Structure 1
Amino acid sequence: MPKRSATRPAAPQSRLAEEEIWPRVTREVADDLAVDALARDRSGKPPADELARLREAGLPALLTPPGPLRGGSDWRTACAVIREIAAADSSIGELLARHYALTWNTRFFGDPDQSDGFERRVVAEQWLLAGDTGNSPADAEPASPGAAPDLTLALTPNGNGYLLHGRRSFAAGVTVADRLVVGATCTETGDWLTALVDPAHPGVTTDPAHDRLGQRLAGAGSVAFDGVPVLPEQLLGTVSHDEQHLTPYATLAPLALRLALVHVALGIAEGALAEARDLSRAAPGGWPTADPDPAPYAERPGGDPYLLLAYGELVAAAHTAAAVVEPATEALARGLLMGRELGVNERADIAVLVAAAEAVTNQSALQITTRILELTGTADSPAGDPGFDRFWRNARVLTAQRSPAHSLRAIGDHYLNGTHPPLTLRI
């Protein structure tokens, strides 16, 4: 792996060279993660070592606006990174996806100077961000089954700042995060404030989510805040309690997170397919065939034509998902560049494309990972098996975080009635 400074990859000679280095760096990290992905999944430890690998490659600092002192990249590149990392280890892909979405939060809710200062600190101090800026407890994904219900986070004015109280569940990152980005209601005005909190503060208590079905290395858990001081400079933005005052650009925040997680789901599907293909090719003597005339397939890996048919269907499903995800990614990238000039119509188009990408990709990820368990004969996950159950478990947990009914209803209403998806910060 090329030498890099403490905060970013080695400075390239041109912008083009900088864009070209990310795919290579990402591939190296993904290959490294893939080597011991199964062992790490089985151990279920907090992803501290994995985070160190990401930092060494400079990936946490990737999605910051390009500049001579930062060297960040754009949304398309970030999504490509998420997808490739997720193919090797989807837990780490989700960790990175949520970090990238949170990195952009000051752009949605704060002023430009505030955003610039925040992003510079993220890069300079190599922070990994975790948290949730959704504006109701219902927006927070459960960290684990059976967890106690969330309480609304509240910021109470106290002198020159605020005190943060409450508890929330977070789907990723809280066991290793350097900073938490959380949304909370101001008890005085009712406005929704986004705050930056140090998880090392004595008033912050983290309860890791143990024995998750999938995404075991994402660092999920619940966090309690007991009178944690929040100074004015720790506020990253303010949103009026009246959603009618939301700008179209601000409501890209939940869409950015949803699309980032779509790339994680697509990575799961592609990673499962690639590993299953390698197993099929290496199968001694090929797979048993039901064809009455097996001669044309006898010398090929996977000699059963029905196996070939199954792979063809699954590859087509993955390509279909990728084809739907691409225009959604392009549309969101354009919307982010428009900033506060983004209009209601443009935002509606982005919302529908993201919803379509989410619905198609989640379905494909579940279909592919389930069918691969059958094709490889590893559904029972005996000791020493290649661990294809982890792809199914990870896809299951990731896609369960949001019902597909919401996405499909929004698409149908827009197509049939021309209705714009609501301007909201709800996930």
Structure 2
Amino acid sequence: MPTTSSPTGARATDAQRRALLRTARDVADDLAADAIARDQAGLPPVDETARLREAGLLAALTPPWPGRGADWRTGCAVIRAIAAADSSVGDVLARHYVHAWSGRFYAGHHDATALEETSVREQWLWTGAVRTPAAGADTDRPDLTLRPQPRNTGYVLDGRRSVDTSVAVADQIVVDAVCAVTGDALVVRIPPGARGMTIEPAHDRLGQRVAGAGDILLDRVAVTPEQVLGRRPHDEESTTPFTALAEPALRLALCHVGLGIAEGALGEARDLSRGGRAYRPPGQDPDLLLTYGELASAAQTATAVVDRATEVMAQALDTGPHLDAEEPAGVAALVATAETVTSKAALHITARVLELADAPGLDRFWRNARVLTAHRPAAHRLRSIGEHYLNSSHRVVAAAFH
């Protein structure tokens, strides 16, 4: 197969990228047609996952390798397109894509190859909840505990963890747990149907109702050695540069979901205005034009910031295990900036469009944006960004994110 560095390989890659984006737009159009009804029903994303799998998006959105997977830029573009139509499904796809990188983040590129090939072949859907190393974490009682079994046959896993998407439909759930003997934090993957696992879906959520959030309860769930992906470092100082990209990569993928929400809300309000279903006729109303100008500018500003962070993240991921030790902090600072700008824009745009038009379901954009951004406080991010800017800190900028 031609390499991407050759002209033929470059053309093939461009053609594959265009084909994947066309597929994403087709799936987005399909999802948009019944988005309001599915949001009102608030059922687990069984049908939505089937649509993604049938279109080949689950297999496509895996880490890039010759002949398979999607590069970071393309993966994020697909996520944003889907999120504009249905942000719950965009959320599912974003977490799937990032957690599919777990083998590389925690085990290394070479060790992850066979796992990624199986994921593509079986069209696995990934989700998970891996916690970020933080000060004082060693003194906190872990919510998930691993106990080694005799003769190195694996572990048993106990505890409870909240998962934000696909808790009842995923093929692999990635979590971290503390070994009761060594104290190591290990990252493991478990299938939802594992014996001893109980799933408690989250009902009546304010937004992101179709994302499939819920809790997993684990009672002596068997974990084989093959299910252990690697170690999650206890603190930032012991984190390898490439592993340090795992958490900001997820946050950045969710920025694309937030952008999709803003773009979807603004586009739907525009269509309502053009169709005469707005509070004020489109015409040449200067106030209406001013409002749309303000909202479009906010969306475009957020897009520019997120695209810059996406490009820098893509370069870091392409560098792989040879990443410089100081680079992750700069990447994380850009991601934190993208989060700050996108959260503000998404909440502002989705609230303002409710003043422009009266239509069933238009409120779902604000509800979805509110749930997506609620657990990542802006003040903490801004302080971290300020520390990095003022003190040239090489410490990874960590937003409160669980």
Q: Does TM, normalized by the shorter one, top 0.5?
A: yes
1:275 aligns with 2:249: no
Q: Give the Å deviation of 1:345.
A: 2.5
Aligned ranges 1:167-246 → 2 under 5 Å: 167-241=160-234, 243-246=236-239
Could you tell me how far apart the structure 2 residues matched to 1:67 and 1:249 are?
Answer: 17
Cross-structure match for 1:316: 297
* Residue number in structure 2 paired with 1:89: 86
Q: After the TM superposition, which residues 99-138 of structure 1 pair with which residues of structure 2 at under 5 Å, given as runs?
A: 99-135=96-132
Q: Deviations over 1:379-412 (max 9, x none)?
A: xxxxxx3311100000000011211112211111
Deviates more, 1:99-108 or 1:243-252: 243-252
What is aligned with 2:17? Answer: 19
Root mean square deviation of aligned Cα: 2.1
Instruction: Check conservation: 1:254, 1:425, Cα contact below 8 A.
Output: no
In structure 2, the CA distance between the partners of 1:365 and 1:325, relative to structure 1 (3 Å rule), is same
Q: Any idea what the Cα deviations from partners look like across 1:213-233, whole Å, max 9, x if unmatched?
A: 000000000000000010101
Unaligned residue ranges in structure 2 (runs of 5+): 1-10, 136-140
Work out which of the residue numbers 266, 269, 272 in structure 1 matches 2:259. 266
> 2:235 and 2:288 mapped to 1: Cα distance?
55
Match of 2:46 among 45, 48, 72: 48
Does 1:407 find its partner at 2:381? yes
Counterpart of 1:145 in structure 2 is none
The one-letter amino acid of 2:78's match is V
Output the amino acid matched with 1:50.
E
| Count of aligned positions | 385
Q: TM-score, normalised by structure 1?
A: 0.86
Measure the CA separation in 1 of the matches of 2:366 and 2:63: 35
**Cα offset, 1:425, TM superposition:** 10
Q: Once the 2 structures are TM-superposed, how far is the Cα of residue 315 of structure 1 from its aligned partner?
A: 0.2
User: 2:401 matched to 1:389?
Assistant: no
Q: Which residue of 2 aligns with 1:295?
A: none
Deviations 1:329-383 (A, max 9, x none): 000001111112212332121111101100000000000000001111x3xxxxx
> Are the aligned partners of 1:64 and 1:119 in contact in 2 as well (CA < 8 Å)?
yes
Q: What does the per-residue CA deviation read over 1:7-59, in whole Å, with 9 as the maximum and x for residues that have no partner? A: xxxxxx93332122011100000000000000000000111111111011111
Alpha-carbon distance in 2 for matches of 1:48, 1:409: 40
Give 1:424 shift.
Answer: 6.7
8 A contact 1:325–1:357 mirrored in 2: yes
CA contact (8 A) 1:151 1:168 kept: no
Cα distance 1:249–1:426, how it changes in 2: closer, same or farther (>3 A)?
A: farther
Secondary structure of 2:216's match? strand
* Partners of 2:384 and 2:399 within 8 A in 1: no
Give how far 1:237 is off. Answer: 1.1
CA distance in 2 between counterparts of 1:422 and 1:168 reads: 25
Q: Which amino acid aligns with 1:126?
A: Q
Name the amino acid aligned to 2:348.
Q
When Rg is computed on C-alpha atoms for both structures, the one with the higher figure is 1
**Partner AA of 1:316 in structure 2:** S
How far 1:303 sits from its partner (Å)? Answer: 4.0
* CA drift at 1:196: 1.2
Distance 1:174 1:424 in 2: 25
Q: Which amino acid aligns with 1:311?
A: Y
2:330 corresponds, among 325, 345, 349, to: 349
User: What is the distance in 2 between the residues matched to 1:426 and 1:407?
Assistant: 8
Cα distance in 1, alignment partners of residues 80 and 126 from structure 2? 19
| Separation in structure 2 between the aligned mates of residue 130 and residue 273 of structure 1, nearest angstrom | 29
Letter in 2 for 1:185: V
The residue number in structure 2 matching 1:31 is 29
The one-letter code sitting in structure 1 at the alignment partner of 2:301 is T
Which amino acid counterpart does residue 128 of structure 1 have in structure 2? Answer: L
